Amino acid sequence: MITPTPLMHLVAGVWGFKTLAVGVEFGLFTRLAGGRTVTVAEAAAEFGLDERPADLLLSASASLGLLEKAGDGYRNSALAEQFLVEGRPYYFGAQVRYSDLRTYLPWHRVGEALRGNRPLTWDPQQQDSLFDTTDPELVAQFWDAMFATSRFTARALADAYDFGAHRRLLDVGGGAGAFPIEFCLRLPELRATILDLPHVCVRAGERIAEAGLTDRIGTVAGDFLADPALPDGHDVILLSMILHDWDEPTNRALLARCHAALPPGGVIVISELLLNDERTGPPEAALMGMNMLVETEGGKNYSGAEYRRWLTDAGFVDVRTVPFEAPGANGAVLARRP
């Protein structure tokens, strides 16, 4: 029998997100790092709460798999211990914070975005793009969020595709450098270049220095949409979570410049949340497409079939898709310049 229960699960989705977000805001999971356990009374005292709200927060967090019960107390689950404790290599809290502060409230007006076909998180009449901002706090929030999502995604991509076959990587729109850092930590012979806006390159330089990789990862300040050519001298180009920000003509033009920048035999890697060829799912890709409506002027999530067609039209061969599972992508479309 069909019931409305699946619809109620959708209704309650926001409750789960906000429970996660407030736990990150309070530093709950960081405070419980290393196996520490707290009772409701202890949590209430520590966070300055009455026992009722402390009880509700802890039990709700446990129901979501973020905490687990240990006697009369609660402790981090393995998921929270690995990804929600500040300072851990794959800390995901920055993504949670950014989504809560930057995109959550605009999503309440998604009908406005649908009717107007324009973004809600920035004003196209005041900025050239989402990335054109001088607000230092917003810049820090955004790139920290992208680094949080990208670091583990890079790990999953490196498991799915062997970058050891390459010598020099160009990460187009590479942000704070999560992918080159992850790859170079694995592959001592690999060298990498990040191409991004000048203020982003500053952020990337800081992350690269923290990883001890300044001798192997460099940055080039530029605009991959406006510059006439991409930096050459690389045998693999990565476009990770880039093409969903732009419309088809913009993406086709970028792929043509990638083709021109690669030597014969060079490989392009498009890492994205890919829709299936029927454009009916999976949900994480389709809903990210809706988020592109809220955040961009022309972006959307595309199917593997669309990327395969664009790559073939750009002159690439041996086009194939490698699936994997990660927060920022579910697969990579790869192709070779003949």
Residue numbers annotated as active site: 244
Task: Name the β-bridge partners of 39.
Answer: 73
Helix, strand, or coil (residue 336): strand
- Among the listed residues 95, 92, 93, 121, the one whose alpha carbon sits nearest the alpha carbon of residue 291: 121
Using CA atoms, how far apart are residues 29 and 20, in angstroms rounded to an integer? Answer: 10
Q: How far is CA 8 from CA 5, 14, 64, 172, in A?
A: 5, 11, 16, 41
- Among the listed residues 338, 326, 222, 335, the one whose alpha carbon sits nearest the alpha carbon of residue 284: 326
Strand order in the sheet with 67-70: 38-39, 73-76, 67-70
Using CA atoms, how far apart are residues 192 and 207, in angstroms rounded to an integer? Answer: 14
Question: What angle separates helix 51-63 from helix 40-47, to the nearest 10 degrees?
Answer: 110
Using CA atoms, how far apart are residues 260 and 248, in angstroms rounded to an integer? Answer: 18
Sign of the CA dihedral 286, 287, 288, 294?
positive
Using CA atoms, how far apart are residues 195 and 130, in angstroms rounded to an integer? Answer: 17
Using CA atoms, how far apart are residues 299 and 273, in angstroms rounded to an integer? Answer: 13
Q: Tell how far CA 156 is from the center of its chain.
A: 13
